Structure 1
Amino acid sequence: MFRALGAVLAAGLILAAAQVPATADTRAPARFSEFSVTPTSLDVDHPTATYTGRLVFTGADGTDQGVPGARVCLDKDGRCVATTETDADGRFSSPVTLSSTGAQPQLRDGEAEAFFNGDAERQSTFVGSGIALHVTQVQARITMGFDHTPSVVGDPVEVSGLLERQTPDGGWIGVVGQTVRVFVDGTRIAEGTTAADGTYRISTRVPVSDEGFWGVETPLPGRGYPYTVAFANTWQRAAHRTLVTGFNAAPEPVRKGAKLTATGRVMRVTADGSTEPATDYPVLQFSADGKKWTDLYEDHPNSQGYFSLSTPAERDGYWRVRTEDWPDLPSTSSVDYVDVGYRTAISGFNASPEPIAKGRRLTVAGTLKRDTTAWKAFSGQSVKIYFAAKGATSWTYEGTAKTSSTGHFSHTFTAAKDGTWRAIYAGSTTYVTVTGPGDYVDVR
């Protein structure tokens, strides 16, 4: 019921609205009885056309009467490019200079028209049929250069040059206010505008490119525009900067002849300054003095740029990796110094007796071994004994023991408090340092 009532009310409102009369335009109609443009053929040296015409209305006697003091818009391709005012007889004649600057210049093939927007007494009107204007092109040329060779992706670079056009006497002059666009491999990366003398300077950054073809051009489409299309190009291949991050050679120290593994990640810098994994081959290099380097081994990183290179360690020295894989620029990692020596070990370490009464004699003993071609006793070496009391965070040196022909060492101390004992062999230029296991003793 309510839905039906709503429909009836809506229909009534629509009917009532339809019965309200629209406000009639009581202003007198106007029209252009005359309209011409001269000349209709233009160029950059002659960019001015004169719009002439008459705006009238029909008088009471049926004759054309001029509309005085009316503001008339002089159109080019539907855009008002100038205005003028009619005289006492409704006539007007006004020169219009069409601009040749920008990507959409007024000076191009198109139609000239006139438009009256109306006033308190006259209705608006326009020329029913526009007059065709033709623009004769002049020859244009452009040059291109760089403030430095755009050889590195992401680097700032300034593209500059000169846009000129031919004069009637065959000379050349700079063209002001023209858009110049910069392209790399057909993709537009920047644009700018020529100065009063025709020069341009456009700042951009070197993009990633497959072919490396740089070009500049004026974007005017050609026929019917004031200048011919001007373009210039050159070939400039750009490379990525690379870097090696997280480089490490391990283990440190390493046993002579054992495998040393160098790890890290190869990255390259993109056009926006961020980094991404690179596929450049890292070459593992070694130097005994940090000056003269020898290539040892290379391999391909994985898809995330991580690498792991292994080689036998023969002597103390410096390790690094270097990448050099066009089109990326070479880079070198940080340097890691690694000591190389024979492994050592402390076995059978024991502090006894345990538990032990306070003040009693405590013996700390063990065996020092070395690994040259096989594990053997390491005689005649000094082994330092350290003690850390229960709850302590640091170790205290207690004494030194000498190894026997069997590598055995021992030292006797007076038991004073609960704690842990351990032994350390300091190593040498030939043998690697080793810290033995700890042994806790309960003193009662």
Structure 2
Amino acid sequence: MRHRLTAAVVVTAAALGGLVAPGVAHAWVPEECQGGISASRTGEVKVTGAWRVPDIVVHIRDRETGQRLASVDTFPRTDWYGATSEEPDYMFDMYSEPLKLAKLGVYAIDVQVDGGEVVQCGDFDFDYRLRSEFTGGKGTATDPVSLESLKTTFSADVTVFDPRTGATAPLKNTKVAVTGRSSSTQATTDANGHLSVPYTYTGVEPSAHVYLAVAATAEMDAEQIHVAPTVVKQKAAIVLDANSRHLTVPYGQPIKITGRAVRATSDGTIKPVPLGTPLQPGSATVGADGRFERTLQGYGSVVDTTWMYENQYPWLQYVKAATQVDIQYPTSFSGFTARLDSLNRVTVNGTLNHTPVQTDLGAKVDIQYSTDGRTGWTTRRTFDWKFDRAFQAIAPGAADGYWRLSYAATPDGVAAVSTPIRLTRTETAFSAFNVNPEPAKRGKPLTITGTLTHKSPTWKTYGGQTVYLYFRPAGSSASTYMGQATTAADGTFRRVLAADRTGTWSAQYRDSDTKHLNATSRLDEVIVNP
């Protein structure tokens, strides 16, 4: 027999106000009510979840009349939660002797702790009604069931316990609801409290459990059990259509999986599974011919088609059919900018976006160049980065052309390219550079001459520009600035310096208007004799 520990009914403070006896303070689940106060099966007052042994008085009150029916201050039985009475810091339950009240009903509870104010335990009821009980807490099914034999009979014996007398008797001539997943009916107990009711399954219930329930009355509580017959599962197979075994689908888009589900009868005959057999994930069911079509939104890289509740499905042995799903995750570039500097370097900035956001997922980004922005794209640099994180990278440049960012398709995302950006700078070059005489004599003059040109749009002389002169002594790797010259209108320049030692001379032009590329002349080695 089971023990009822509580039958709580939530009642608002306003509703209780007119029923509280004089001198009883209003409170909503106060501390004095401990972890809960209720009636046990036999009518004991049970104080749940106490932390110490309180000086407690529990009053049972009739809600309609406000009359106090009983007061309890002695609790001879204690249940400790894994501890002993020597460990008072542990919670425990306390029980009074069974109450013997004159009238059955559901009553209010008031509490007084340590001589304090009497408070109302508004969330808790003292359920002092007859206890309807299924013998052994269970029922039985007379026959096993399968897809070839869906009928059985449920039986149970129902009794009623009276807490006033402690007597148990058959619950006779009482209606019992019989509720399954696909149908429900009603049975009536006989003079001995016995019931027997035939029940037919449909063969597509996700569970074979059927509930037997006695409804509550003013003088008797409710009771419910579940019962299930032995189910003989049949062998089965789920066969996917060829185009449902491997799918490629954009991220966030639904997928459709089709196929056929069949079963083997006891004599080996292959038949479709029953119409309406539930599949998962999703809410698809099978047609009369065993065919099914499932549309899913939200899935992983592998989708298994199987019965609802998988191996817990009662009618068919557990099988599954796997669909491999290659998800195409969208990618795109945002915030793309590009700049060409005087050293003929391209600096790009941007973000490679991924849906959904994946800031810890790596990716390779290509910086690409084309002369016309349509064809002939070549990769100038590839670098590793993370999706959804801003980047900056530098690649070798070109005087004129189009630049873009590119991401090649991988299992992590579909391919993406940015909108091209055109970058231009004017090329410059030294068409002539010479140092004379060769060889030279130490201390004597050296004459440095040359011509600076730029491509605007054809090659022309470039006048009015500063040219920087450098010398690298023989055996050294470092060049030293030696002076500068200004180009004439025809782009020529001339500078006289004293010869000092053997080494290599060169000239450099540095962009002066943010529109040109730098240039370096050829190297001219001059031997200097003593």
Q: TM-score range by the shorter chain?
A: 0.5 to 0.7
Other-structure match for 1:318: 402
The question of 1:341 aligning with 2:426 is answered yes
Tell me: higher relative CO, structure 1 or 2? Use CA pairs within 8 A at least 6 residues apart: 1
- In 2, the alpha carbon distance for the partners of 1:334 and 1:238 equals 25
The one-letter amino acid of 2:175's match is: R
- In 1, the alpha carbon distance for the partners of 2:194 and 2:183 equals 19
Q: 1:370 to 1:205 in 2, by over 3 A?
A: farther
The question of 1:23 aligning with 2:76 is answered no
The one-letter amino acid of 2:422's match is: Y
Q: Is the 8 A contact 2:247 2:323 kept in 1?
A: no
The one-letter amino acid of 1:137's match is: K
The one-letter amino acid of 2:235's match is: Q
- In 1, the alpha carbon distance for the partners of 2:366 and 2:234 equals 59
Q: Identity across aligned pairs (percent)? A: 15
Q: 1:102 to 1:90 in 2, by over 3 A?
A: closer
The question of 1:71 aligning with 2:169 is answered no
**Helix, strand or coil at the partner of 1:233:** strand
- In 1, the alpha carbon distance for the partners of 2:346 and 2:159 equals 100
Other-structure match for 1:214: 303
Q: 1:131 to 1:248 in 2, by over 3 A?
A: closer
Other-structure match for 1:204: 297
The one-letter amino acid of 2:285's match is: T
Query: How far is 1:276 from its partner?
Result: 4.8
Q: Is the 8 A contact 2:170 2:191 kept in 1?
A: no
**Helix, strand or coil at the partner of 1:155:** coil
Query: How far is 1:136 from its partner?
Result: 0.9
Other-structure match for 1:172: 271
Other-structure match for 1:159: 257
Provide the aligned C-alpha RMSD in A. 5.2
Other-structure match for 1:227: 316
Q: Is the 8 A contact 1:282 1:300 kept in 2?
A: yes
Q: Is the 8 A contact 1:263 1:306 kept in 2?
A: yes
- In 1, the alpha carbon distance for the partners of 2:296 and 2:196 equals 45
The one-letter amino acid of 1:263's match is: N
- Deviations 1:80-139, CA, capped at 9 Å, x for gaps: 9531246899886532113543543338xxxxx96655879x9789999x9873211111
TM-score, normalised via structure 1 length: 0.55
The question of 1:181 aligning with 2:280 is answered yes
- In 2, the alpha carbon distance for the partners of 1:150 and 1:235 equals 9
Q: Is the 8 A contact 1:116 1:125 kept in 2?
A: yes
The one-letter amino acid of 1:43's match is: S
- Deviations 1:51-96, CA, capped at 9 Å, x for gaps: 4689899xxxxxx99955x42344789x995312468998865321
- In 1, the alpha carbon distance for the partners of 2:404 and 2:299 equals 30
Q: 1:21 to 1:302 in 2, by over 3 A?
A: same
> Can you give the 5+ residue segments of structure 1 that lack an aligned partner in the other structure?
1-5, 58-63, 108-112, 183-190, 345-368, 380-402, 408-426, 434-444
Other-structure match for 2:29: none
Q: Is the 8 A contact 2:370 2:378 kept in 1?
A: no
Q: Is the 8 A contact 1:72 1:85 kept in 2?
A: yes
- In 1, the alpha carbon distance for the partners of 2:227 and 2:259 equals 38
Q: 1:305 to 1:278 in 2, by over 3 A?
A: farther
- In 2, the alpha carbon distance for the partners of 1:28 and 1:267 equals 68
- In 1, the alpha carbon distance for the partners of 2:392 and 2:317 equals 55
Query: How far is 1:46 from its partner?
Result: 1.4
Other-structure match for 2:93: none
- In 2, the alpha carbon distance for the partners of 1:29 and 1:290 equals 86
The one-letter amino acid of 2:102's match is: T
**Helix, strand or coil at the partner of 2:71:** helix
Q: 1:125 to 1:432 in 2, by over 3 A?
A: closer
Q: Is the 8 A contact 1:48 1:98 kept in 2?
A: yes
Aligned length: 320
Q: 1:237 to 1:201 in 2, by over 3 A?
A: closer
TM-score, normalised via structure 2 length: 0.47
Q: 1:171 to 1:12 in 2, by over 3 A?
A: closer
Other-structure match for 2:447: none
- In 2, the alpha carbon distance for the partners of 1:32 and 1:294 equals 82
- Deviations 1:119-163, CA, capped at 9 Å, x for gaps: 79x9789999x9873211111222345678234433332233333
